[in-house]
Structure 1
Amino acid sequence: MKVLMWLNRGAEIPGGHRVQMERTAAALRDLGVAVEEHLGPVEPEGSWDVVHGFQLGPREVAAMRARGIPVVISTIYWGLSYTSSPGAGRLTARDALGRGRRGLRYLGASLRGREDLTRLSLQETADDLDRVRAWSMAEILLPNAEGEARHVRDDLGVLTDCVVVPNAIDVSLFAAGVDRPRPAGSVLCVGRVEPHKNQLGTIRALAGAPGLSLTVVGPAHPHHPGYLEECRRAAAQADNVTLLPAVEHSDLPALYARHRTHVLATWYETTGLVSLEAAAAGCTVVTTDRGHAREYLGDEARYCDPADPGSIRRAVDRALTDPPSTGLRHRIADRFSWAETAERTLTAYESVLARRGTRARDAHP
């Protein structure tokens, strides 16, 4: 089988979307799939059985379909709110507040003048319409969580078949230091430094906490240099916070193994790869209560409200006294490996070809 993985937007931004594409491609190659990776908006030339898109818009999907190539899309969709409803069809108070965020953006634009309001309205409407058009033309969508699939359907009305393909980590890489002793009170926060990841809120919540040290590690987001400077200033004012630049992926296991707890108090997470890595490495885990992390971590993590510094502090304090979860490590190893992700992805490809009556081995004699 020949597959093209195409990331057309955001390739310059380090993070989970790049990791997901690259690691899934590598695991598919282990299964005998010929995978080609392509970055950027320029339409690639070639012949493939399937195009697997990340961030593809309607123009790119239509172009592939015109060439007779079926398209599947990893949605990586956050939804119109910054949380997921615990019950189907029921709007919680937090959902209402999250969706109200959009209303506040429109209010701010209206106060600046009609031109700004019109521009914002058109941009957000265009973004949603692009998703609807692209995802409706795709053969199958591959969300990372059941909750994400619900949002695609309920927020956008897209009825394309979804196959949930969980995100994953290299379990063996991170399990190497699982039994290593860690200093009491040592807290780590790994991730791209940007407003969405809420490092500034985490620093402020934990600054000055007695007996606690926080290390924040990650690359700067190329579109948010000012946020990194804010984090640096906040860290400099706290005697228990260290801000470090990004490290190589291969160096992360040793970093996790030097800390007792990992915190990821973001405004939303579909998965939180660093939470999975930290748990596999023997850390206790604090993560956001907004999104779908609970589908991965269950009750074996502490959850916090990223808008509430007290909630972040309490969750971290409790996690520091928790023992590492052996059950969570086993679940990650069983369900969230790249091999498992590749198997599910390949099954989705095969279902697309079967639906079209195509066999991959006949497509390229």
Structure 2
Amino acid sequence: MKVLIYIRQDYQENIAGDSILVLKTKEYLMGTGIKIEVSSDPNKDLKKYDVIHLFNTINILETYKFFINAVKYKKKIVLTPIYWNYAKYLPIDSMKSLKTSYWKSHHPLRKEVLAGVDLLLPSSEIEMRQIEKDFNIVTPYKVVFNGVDKVFAEGKKENFLKQIHIDNFVLSVGRISPHKNQLTLARVTKKLGLPLVLVGPINDLNYYHQCMQANKDIVYLHKTNHANLKDIYDAAKVHALISWYEIPGLTSLEAALGGCNIVTTKEGSTKEYFKAYASYVDPYDLIDIENKILKSFKESFNADLKKYILENFLWEKVIKELIRCYDYVTKITG
């Protein structure tokens, strides 16, 4: 079987969750007998491929072009939507109505893609319910969970402590942007007197400066090899991802394997993944965030969380489900 993954052109320069999903999907499919390629060319000749795998409907413009090309070649199409209702979380300011209008103006494209593929691959039932609610579609679907590498269970904090002399801290891994809500985290950890380490690329420079101004004790790490995160997770006490929403937050899965207590947003699909093993916060409620972070900082790590992640979300298991989905669509007639 030959599969083409279609992904936005800047997925390697502008690293985000979809980037990691694509790279890991390719990595784990290699050696399974499936021939896998990745492309960002909307005009690519698709004759030789059996399945076209699209990613991301948040940034729909490129995905729509990929979809149209796949339809032109009459290919079987699966879609990992990575969808949530972004407009709900836009800050209330003079630009909100404009941003909301822009977001909604692309809904017809999203609906055409979501309704036109052969199989949707949401990362949770919660995500699928949101898609059904927002677009009123009945496309067949199969939940394929986001995966995590077992290497994150093998971190050695000593490697991190050789470079940064800080232990038992609050950690937040993710691109620096308002969506991830690091400014609130900076203010809360300063008030609580807890050390904070931020790791991730800067998507919004002005927002980064606001974070650093709000808490001058922040340790910020920009360039960190993805695999080396395991040592940082092992050194941290709490991983906090208090975003507007997460579906579900790949770094929270990694951090859970790394032995961190998990504090995450209640918005999105987080509860379907972390069950009762995480503390869930309202991203707009400072008191709630303070209480949950302080409580998690004082608690011992629950080893059952690591066992649960290992049993349910390793890439080796996820990729087997994905292959079954590929097999399914190739057998659809018409």
Tell me, yes or no, whether TM beats 0.5.
yes
User: C-alpha offsets along residues 248-279 of structure 1, whole Å, 9 cap, x if unaligned?
Assistant: 11210111111111111111001111111111
1:156 partnered with 2:135: yes
Query: Residues 63 and 185 of structure 1: is their aligned pair in 2 closer, same or farther, counting only changes over 3 Å?
Result: closer
Q: For 2:251 and 2:96, locate their aligned partners in 1 and report how far apart those are by CA, in whole Å.
A: 35
Residue from 281, 288, 296 that aligns with 1:319: 296
The counterpart of 2:76, out of the listed 70, 86, 91, is 70
Distance 2:167 2:55 in 1: 41
4+ runs deviating over 3 angstroms = 55-59, 107-110, 177-180, 182-185
Alpha-carbon distance in 2 for matches of 1:259, 1:296: 21
Change (3 A) 1:178 1:251: closer
Question: CA shift at 1:356, angstroms?
Answer: 2.4
Is the 2:42–2:66 contact (alpha carbons within 8 Å) kept by the matching residues of 1?
A: no
Provide the rounded CA distance (Å) in 2 between the counterparts of 1:263 and 1:151: 24
Q: String of CA shifts for 1:140-189, please: whole Å, max 9, x gaps.
A: 11111110011111111121111110001101x11113898x97752111
How many Å apart are 1:9 and its aligned residue? 5.6
Matching residue of 1:140: 119
- Tell me by how many angstroms 1:81 deviates: 6.4
Following superposition, the deviation at residue 60 of structure 1 comes to 2.6
Kindly state the Cα deviation for residue 135 of structure 1 after the two structures are TM-superposed: 1.3
- Cα deviation, 1:20-68, whole Å, max 9, x if unaligned, reads 01101111123211100113x5322242000001135444323212212
Q: Give structure 2 stretches of 5+ with no counterpart.
A: 57-61
Determine the C-alpha separation between the residues in 2 that align with 1:280 and 1:30. 25
Q: Residues 235 and 242 of structure 1 are in contact (CA less than 8 Å); yes or no, is this contact kept in structure 2?
A: no
The residue correspondences of 1:244-263 to structure 2 (distance < 5 A) are 244-263=221-240
Unaligned runs of 5+ in 1: 83-97, 111-116, 358-365
**Change over 3 Å in CA distance of 1:81–1:327 after alignment to 2:** farther
* Inter-partner Cα distance in structure 2 for 1:153 and 1:130: 15
Q: Quote the Cα distance in structure 2 between the aligned partners of 1:31 and 1:295.
A: 29
- Aligned residue in 1 for 2:283: 306
- Structure 2 counterpart of 1:206, which letter? T
Pairs within 5 Å for 1:1-365: 1-8=1-8, 11=11, 12-39=13-40, 41-46=41-46, 47-55=48-56, 57-79=63-85, 121=101, 123-171=102-150, 173-177=151-155, 185-210=168-193, 212-221=194-203, 224-236=204-216, 239=217, 241-356=218-333
Amino acid at match of 2:197: T
- Residue equivalent to 1:363: none
* TM-score, structure 2 as length reference: 0.89
Shift of 1:246: 3.3
**d(CA) in 2 for partners of 1:285 and 1:48?**
41
User: Partners of 2:34 and 2:302 in 1: how far apart?
Assistant: 35
Kept in 2: contact 1:57–1:130 (CA 8 A): no
Distance 1:184 1:254, change over 3 A: closer
Deviation for aligned residue 1:235: 2.7
In 2, Cα distance between the equivalents of 1:242 and 1:179? Answer: 16
Cα RMSD of the aligned pairs, angstroms, is: 2.5
C-alpha distance in structure 1 between counterparts of 2:9 and 2:104, whole Å: 18
Instruction: State the shift of 1:80 in Å.
Output: 5.7
- Please identify the structure whose Cα radius of gyration is greater: 1
CA 1:120–1:271: 2 relative to 1, 3 Å: closer
Q: In the alignment, is the contact (CA less than 8 A) between 1:177 and 1:282 conserved in 2?
A: no
Percent of paired sites with the same residue: 30
CA contact (8 A) 1:178 1:280 kept: no
Query: What is the rounded CA distance, in whole Å, between the counterparts of 1:233 and 1:337 in structure 2?
Result: 38
> What TM-score do the two structures reach when normalised by structure 1?
0.82
